[in-house]
Amino acid sequence: MPRWLRFILPAIAVFATAVGLTVVSTPAYAASLTTVSSFGSNPGNLTMYSYRPDGLPANAPLVVAMHGCTQNATDYFTNAGWRKYADLWRFALVLPEQKSANNSSSCFNWFETGDTARGAGEALSVKQMVDYAATNYQVDRGRVYVTGLSAGAAMTAVMLATYPDVFAGGAIMAGLPYRCATSTTSAFSCMNPGVDKTPAAWGDLVRSAYSGYSGTRPRVSIWHGTSDTTVAPANATELRDQWTNVLGVSQTPTATSSLPGGTSLANYGDKVKVYLVSGMTHATPVDPGSATEQCGTAGTYYKDTICSSYYQALDWGLNGGVVTPTGSPTASPSPTPTAGPCVRASNYAHVTAGRAHQSGGYVYANGSNQAMGLYNVFTTHGLQQTGANYYVVADTAC
């Protein structure tokens, strides 16, 4: 530093103090992920983290985001993309965290009956986190949403089933149907190859989670990679069957469209949406970059395909109508059920004829990906063609 500047700087400082001048600078970013030490009785022994962006308005929405196995709240907060949109569109985040004392792999216990019932265990702990946020952050109780990956996704299904009066919507990322498993042993077979139930049987499990509930139920989004070998893609179909039955819509989509990253979207009456990401393994879909529709960090359980947090935030209206998705698809109506032939045959014959495909010993209809049971010559189904290489199960029609 020049000698003259060393002499003049103190003089400037004295002058500024004398006349009351202040130096204007960009304020430090204040918001950070914060541990909440006490939020209720916490019967599930979970840890609560919260994030309130600077300038959070009263009655802002709230998103509950749950990590997968071997992850933690900080990991999901940092990489899944939700922080970007909480900052951009001003909504709060709550990130529950599992403890290794509860599960050696830090998985939420989505398969333990004591943790998946209304008013008990981990489910009640997460609900108490929402109550804490509603009271202390003044979030809008009518705009509370829940999402998660893998075990966190299965726990998302738990929350939607047990507390339909709390959540307006949920997004299940590589997850499983509610009450697909009720023990550690059954959890593995549920994950892969999956469990096949009728839509009504799946729906009954949800309805029994809050018996007698007659209010509005949350909308459900299902995201899954087609190359997921940890949680088989068949679970996306079973989830679709479960929630379309609960919400009273057909298992045939009312519209289909394409999104970036090889993602197909099937819309079931705007109540259930299924996003299948072509070639993606077990992960949360992200799309690193600075554009509004880009988010997240690629990694082991975060695959560079599409920013699921962006599209999910838009679907829930968290942007307040400010931004229209870049290159948003125009939905195309699904073909009518009478568009093609209806064929009844064995699962083996359907696969051989190219109407269905098999994975892990189970058969799925081409296009709709509806589960058809075991790959053999004894199980038979009717398949109705509704479009180019698109078939739906139509046992009563064929």
pTM for this prediction: 0.76
Question: Among all residues, which ones are annotated catalytic?
Answer: 150
pLDDT for 362: 65
Q: What is the 3-state secondary structure (H, E, C) of 211-278?
A: CCCCCCCCEEEEEEECCCCCCCCHHHHHHHHHHHHHHCCCCCCCEEEEECCCEEEEEECCCEEEEEEC
Q: Give me the residues of the chain with pLDDT under 50, please.
A: 1-29, 323-338
User: Residue 63: is it exposed, middle or buried by C-beta count within 10 angstroms (0-12/13-18/19+)?
Assistant: buried
**Residue 289: both structure tokens together:** 């970059």
- Cα 355 off chain centre by: 30
pLDDT for 20: 34
Q: Give the Cα separation of 3 and 27 in Å (integer).
A: 32
**Residue 327: both structure tokens together:** 């290159």
pLDDT for 356: 84
pLDDT for 30: 57
pLDDT for 227: 98
pLDDT for 327: 40
pLDDT in tens, 215-241: 999 999 999 999 999 999 999 999 999
Q: What CA–CA distances, in Å, run from 46 to 64, 128, 134, 280, 292? A: 14, 11, 18, 30, 33
| Beta carbons of 347 and 362 less than 8 angstroms apart | no
pLDDT for 360: 56
Task: Work out the number of other CB atoms within 10 angstroms of the CB of residue 85.
Answer: 24
Q: What are phi and psi of 369, to 5 degrees?
A: 60, 25
Q: Which residue, among 373, 171, 365, has the nearest Cα to 253 in the 3D structure?
A: 365
Q: Which residue has the tokens 């019967």?
A: 43
- Cα 300 off chain centre by: 18
According to DSSP, residue 88 is labeled H
